[in-house]
Amino acid sequence: MRTAKVARKTNETEIAVTLDLDGTGIYEVATGIGFLDHMLEQLSRHSLMDLTVNAKGDLHIDFHHTTEDTGIAIGEAVSQALGDRRGITRYAEATIPMDETLTRATMDISNRPYLIWRVNFSKSKLGDMDTELFKEWFQAFAQAAGITLHIENLYGENNHHIIESCYKALARALRNAITIDPRKAEDVPSTKGTLGGSL
C-alpha cells in the first residue's frame, strides 16, 4: 500500500496529512484558508490520491506559514508513500486548459527537488489569499516531495483560472508519474539503481 501519514507541528502551524497514492480522489481538507482548500481538493480529485488535510495555523498574522507548511506536509507524505520509487513511470507532463487559460506542468520524480515557476498574476489577491503565496506552496511541495517540477502558465487572463489550472496540471502530471509501469514494476527507474544525487 502506497500510503502515508505526516504530522507537522511548529510554533506557527499544526498539520496532519494522510494520503493514499492509489486512491480514487476522495478528500477532506480544512486549512482555514478557503481558496487553498479548493485547490487541494482539485489536487486530490484530479490526481486520484485520497487526501486528508487538517491544518491549524497563525492565520491572525497572515496565510504564509499555513500555506507553506501545508505544501511541506503534503510533499513529505507523497515522498513517504513513494518509498524507494520502485516501478514508477517517473516522468510526466500535463497541459490543462481552463476557459481562456492554458497551463503546463512537467515533472521528474527524481528525488532531486527543483521548481521552475513561470506564472504571473494581474492581481495581488484571490479572495483573502495573496497570489504570491502560490509559488511558496509549489516550492514547498516540490522540495519536500523530491520532485523536479516545472509549472508554466502559457496564457490566460482570469487569475482564478490561472492558479486552478496550475493545480490541475500538477495533479494530472503527478497521477501519471506515480503510475507503476508494469514492464518495470520491480525496478527503480534510473541507471544508477537509486533516485537522487547529482545526475
Of 65, 23, 25, 61, nearest to 45 by C-alpha is 25
CA atoms within 13 A on the CB side of 7: 0
pLDDT at 147 over 50: yes
Of the pLDDT bands very low, low, confident and very high (cuts 50, 70, 90), residue 187 is: low
pLDDT at 35 over 50: yes
Q: How confident is the prediction for the chain on average, in pLDDT?
A: 93
Q: What percent of the chain has pLDDT over 90?
A: 86
pLDDT at residue 198, as a whole number: 42
Who has greater pLDDT, 181 or 163? 163
pTM for this one? 0.93
pLDDT at 191 over 70: no
CA distance 197 to 35: 36
Q: Compute the residue count for the chain.
A: 199
Q: Is the CB of residue 151 less than 8 Å from the CB of residue 166?
A: yes
Neighbour-count burial of 24, counting CB atoms closer than 10 A to its CB (0-12 exposed, 13-18 middle, 19+ buried):
exposed
Q: Which domains does the chain have, with CATH numbers?
A: 3-184 (3.30.230.40)
pLDDT at 188 over 70: no
pLDDT at residue 145, as a whole number: 97
Would you state the cell numbers that stand for residue 145, as one nine-digit string? 516531495
What separation in angstroms does the CA of 158 have from each of 97, 126, 163?
Answer: 12, 10, 9
pLDDT digits (tens, 9 = 90+) for 90-121: 999 999 999 999 999 999 998 999 999 999 99
Our measurement of the distance from residue 155's CA atom to the centroid of its chain's CA atoms, rounded to an integer in Å, reads: 21
pLDDT digits (tens, 9 = 90+) for 63-97: 999 999 999 999 999 999 999 888 899 999 999 99
Count of CB atoms situated within 10 Å of the CB of 155: 9
Computed from CA positions of residues 189, 195, 197, 198, in that sequence, does the dihedral angle turn out positive or negative? Answer: positive
